[in-house]
Amino acid sequence: MFELSPSLSAGSQINLGGVLAVTRQLAHIHLDVDDGNFVHEITFGMDTVRTVVEHTPVPVDVHLEVLNPLDYVRPLCEIGVAAACAHVEALPYPSEWLTALKAGGCPKRGLALNLSTPVDVLGYYADQLDYVVFVSVEADGEGLPFRPLTLDKVRRARQMLPPQVQLWVDGGVSETNLRDVVMAGADAVVMGRAVFGAPDPVKAYQHLVSLGETYRRERGA
């Protein structure tokens, strides 16, 4: 089944309560945790992650864009997030990250790759992965366009990884290029403004999920 995880950072930060009320009608929520070092932006900290998890029944997945992902394993597991991924570029030993999440009880464990990172690195951790996040814009470039070469990486990953490993694409995905992303092999996407920037976020979400599922079936998945 196709999955869409709307990025909470695209919602109103002044009215976080109102945004969370909307998320109760969704199936996923995506949180970017940026530390101002791995990328320039600073987004949500662990207190906000905890608040979100405590105030919505919807599964929360966390994308760490931080220099020291291992420092976040314990709080993320204690908070009870549904999924967590960190960048291979920040992990000297990615297996250590995946093992620590499993030991802490995190249900889904993943790795994220920046644009220029070769996809072949994933092969070393295929037996530990639940999902992979392909960042399809520069991680520090809000509003930059989707990079089509990401599709080649998704295709390559789909060939080399077991079918149970989900492939996610994050950044610059819109209704315009959603079909290309799904047909390349993506099982899920992260979208922000396309949902929270719409007049009716729930209606926009449902429409995009329906489209994604149609494309997934067209792909034969």
**Taking the C-alpha atoms of 76, 8, 14 and 56 in order, what is their torsion angle to the nearest 10 degrees?**
-60
Query: Position of tokens 């900290």?
Result: 45
Q: Contact 149/156 with Cβ under 8 angstroms?
A: no
Q: How far apart are CA 2 and CA 215, in angstroms?
A: 9
- Percentage of the chain modeled with pLDDT above 70: 95
Q: What does DSSP assign to residue 81? A: -
Whether residue 95 has pLDDT greater than 90:
yes
Catalytic choice (61, 130, 170, 187): 170
Catalytic choice (32, 35, 61, 130): 32
**Residue 34 among the catalytic residues:** no
Listed in sequence order, the DSSP H helices in 111-160 are 149-160
Whether residue 140 has pLDDT greater than 60:
no
Q: Contact 110/130 with Cβ under 8 angstroms?
A: yes
pTM over cut 0.75:
yes
The yes or no reply on domain 3-219 and CATH 3.40.50.970 is: no
Q: How far apart are CA 131 and CA 192, in angstroms?
A: 19
> What six digits make up the tokens of 196?
């929270």
pLDDT at 183: 97
Torsion angles phi and psi, residue 168, rounded to 5: -110, 150
Residue ranges per domain, the chain? Answer: 3-219
pLDDT at 55: 87
For 25-74, the pLDDT digits (tens) are 888 899 999 877 787 776 778 988 999 999 888 999 999 999 999 999 99
Q: How far apart are CA 201 and CA 188, in angstroms?
A: 18
**Residue 120 among the catalytic residues:** no
Q: How confident is the model at residue 142 (pLDDT cuts 50, 70, 90)?
A: low
- Averaged over 78-99, what is the pLDDT? 97
